[in-house]
Chain A
Amino acid sequence: GESVGLHLPTLSVQEGDNSIINCAYSNSASDYFIWYKQESGKGPQFIIDIRSNMDKRQGQRVTVLLNKTVKHLSLQIAATQPGDSAVYFCAERLSNDYKLSFGAGTTVTVRA
Chain B
Amino acid sequence: NAGVTQTPKFQVLKTGQSMTLQCAQDMNHNSMYWYRQDPGMGLRLIYYSASEGTTDKGEVPNGYNVSRLNKREFSLRLESAAPSQTSVYFCASSADRTSYEQYFGPGTRLTVT
Contact = CB atoms under 8 A, between A and B. Distances in A.
A44 B100 contact: no
A43 B105 contact: yes
Contact of A102 (B40, B43, B105): B43
B42 A99 contact: no
Nearest to B45: A99
Contact of A99 (B41, B48, B106): B48
A34 B43 CA distance: 13
Given A44-B90, A45-B104, A98 B41 contact: no
* Contact-residue size bin, chain A (C-beta under 8 Å from the other chain): 10 to 19
Contacts, number: 48
Contacts of B48: 99
Nearest to A42: B106
B98 interface: yes
A41 B105 CA distance: 11
B50 A49 contact: no
Interface in A10-35: 32, 34
Nearest to B92: A43
A98 B101 contact: no
A99 to B, nearest CB: 6
Contacts of A44: 43, 90, 104
B34 to A, nearest CB: 12
B100 A100 contact: yes
Given A34-B101, A43-B105, A43-B106, A98 B43 contact: no
Nearest to A103: B42
A68 interface: no
B67 interface: no
B97 A98 contact: yes
A98 B98 contact: yes
B61 interface: no
B42 to A, nearest CB: 4
A105 B42 contact: yes
Given A98-B31, A98-B50, A46 B102 contact: yes
